[in-house]
């Protein structure tokens, strides 16, 4: 794999509209947090995608190991009662 | 109200500054130091070209002889352009571009703040939209000045050199021509001598924080408001106007 020589990597999260979740949009290179924020603004909000941006150093993110996937996630497979499908959504409610 | 000719000439200055500065910034497209900065500089270019369109559109309405904004942008000769000399200086290295951006964007911020209160409501409207972009441009340039100034010995020296070289093109932005004196009377444009002090404060504080020495006043270049430009403008126009010259009224 080629060595990445283009400054540090940051993960970008964009909030589409006020009150919504910040969703992962992608990543940017930057040497500091102000540059990361500006680069994220220039790359990911060119078409009015967002109203708020978070940037996080990619190195601060810990991910689960693929080898642990069975241990971590399979036990949920036979517990359908955890899905909120047994409720009747009241008429007129857009989301619960 | 000033005369139609005066307003037209002032709008050409505002439009041409944005047009030529936008063209220079667009030269960074695909040549930026990293992908992110390449896109950032292209965004700044687009902001400027959009602003040029707004001012030249209004200029064509004021002129009222059937010219369009495109005619004004692409079919005048060098002596008819009224952009400040600083906007036509070559792209140069990254520190050179950032220096130009710092000087011009800080100028735009205080100019548009003042123009928001212009008695000409169309100018005030365009300024109210442009001020948001200009603030971002100034913030982008200030951040980079800090990084270059406080970065390595090489980046510091490059920035100091470019600041010293370009300083002689800043005085022109604050010259009170006969046109300015007249338009100030009607409340259309602001008194540039007041703006100059604010600009010196703002630019000075960025440069001091960046460890850069402010050049003394020294000799200042002038001429653009009489249509007398540097050799660089002709080269820009030959490229920028090529399509309109080769294929007049081309559409697609």
Look at residue A79 and tell me whether its pLDDT is greater than 90.
Answer: no
Q: Which residues fall within 8 angstroms of residue A94, CB to CB, at 6 or more apart? A: none
CATH number of B4-246: 1.20.1260.10
Q: Which residues contact B61 (CB under 8 A, 6 or more apart)?
A: none
Q: Flag whether A44 is in a domain.
A: yes
Chain B interface includes A33 (CB < 8 A): no
What's the rounded mean pLDDT across residues A65-77? 90
Q: Is A52 domain-assigned?
A: yes
Cα distance between residue B87 and residue B89, in whole Å: 6
Residue A71 lies in a domain: no
Q: Does B132 touch chain A (CB under 8 A)?
A: no
Question: Which of B36, B143, B147 lies at the smallest CB-CB distance from A42?
Answer: B36
Across the interface, whether the CB atoms of B36 and A43 are under 8 A apart is answered yes
Q: How far is the alpha carbon of A79 from chain B, nearest alpha carbon, in Å?
A: 45
SS3 label, residue A18:
coil
- Using an 8 Å CB-CB cutoff, list chain A residues near B37: 39
**In this complex, which of A7, A30, A43 lies closest to B39 when CB atoms are compared?**
A43
Residue in A closest to B136 by C-alpha: A38
Q: pLDDT tens across A9-32, in order? A: 999 999 988 888 999 999 999 999
| CB of B143 less than 8 A from some CB of A | yes
Does B2 score more than 80 pLDDT?
no
Domain hosting residue A50, numbered range: 8-63
> Confidence band (pLDDT; 50, 70, 90) for B4?
very high
Residue B190's closest CA among B142, B128, B118?
Answer: B118
- The answer to whether A21 and A1 have CB atoms below 8 angstroms apart is no
Whether ipTM exceeds 0.95 = no
CB atoms within 10 A of CB B73: 23
Q: Per-residue pLDDT tens for B68-113? A: 999 999 999 999 999 999 999 999 999 999 999 999 999 999 999 9
- Here the CATH number for the domain that contains residue A56 is 3.10.20.520
Beta strand extents in A1-96 (DSSP E only): 8-15, 22-30, 52-57
From CA A2, how far away is CA B40, in angstroms rounded? 25
Q: What is the mean pLDDT of chain A?
A: 88
Single pTM value for the model? 0.90
Closest CA to B68 of B78, B76, B77, B57: B57
The tally of domains found in chain A comes to 1
In a domain? residue A22: yes
Give me the residue spans of the domains in chain B: 4-246
pLDDT at B117: 97
Q: Which of B35, B37, B143 sits opposite A34 (nearest CB)?
A: B143
CA distance B198 to chain A (A): 25
């Amino acid at each position: 794999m080629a060595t990445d020589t283009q400054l540090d990597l940051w993960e970008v999260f964009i909030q589409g509209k006020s009150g919504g979740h910040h969703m992962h949009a992608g990543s940017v290179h930057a040497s500091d947090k102000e540059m990361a924020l500006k680069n994220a603004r220039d790359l990911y909000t060119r078409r009015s995608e967002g109203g708020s941006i978070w940037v996080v150093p990619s190195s601060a993110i810990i991910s689960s190991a693929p080898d642990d996937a069975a241990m971590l996630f399979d036990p949920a497979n036979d517990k359908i009662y955890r899905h909120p499908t047994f409720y009747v959504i009241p008429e007129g409610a857009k989301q619960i | 109200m000033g005369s139609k000719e005066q307003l037209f000439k002032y709008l050409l200055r505002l439009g041409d500054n944005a047009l030529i500065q936008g063209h220079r910034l667009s030269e960074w497209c695909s040549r930026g130091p990293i992908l992110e900065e390449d896109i950032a500089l292209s965004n700044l270019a687009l902001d400027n070209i959009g602003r040029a369109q707004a001012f030249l559109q209004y200029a064509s309405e004021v002129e009222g002889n059937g010219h369009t904004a495109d005619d004004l942008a692409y079919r005048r000769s060098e002596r008819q352009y009224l952009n400040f000399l600083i906007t036509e200086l070559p792209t140069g290295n990254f520190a050179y571009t950032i220096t130009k951006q710092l000087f011009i964007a800080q100028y735009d911020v205080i100019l548009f703040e003042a123009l928001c209160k212009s008695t000409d409501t169309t100018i005030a409207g365009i300024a109210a939209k442009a001020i948001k972009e200009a603030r971002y441009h100034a913030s982008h340039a200030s951040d980079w000045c800090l990084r270059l100034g406080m970065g390595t010995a090489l980046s510091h020296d490059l920035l100091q050199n470019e600041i010293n070289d370009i300083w002689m093109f800043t005085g022109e932005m604050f010259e009170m021509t006969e046109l300015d004196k007249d338009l100030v009377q009607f409340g259309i444009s602001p008194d540039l001598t007041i703006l100059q002090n604010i600009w010196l404060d703002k630019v000075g504080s960025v440069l001091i924080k960046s460890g850069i020495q402010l050049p003394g006043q020294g000799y200042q270049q002038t001429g653009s408001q009489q249509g007398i430009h540097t050799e660089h403008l002709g080269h820009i126009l030959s490229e920028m106007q090529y399509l309109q010259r080769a294929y007049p009224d081309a559409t697609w």
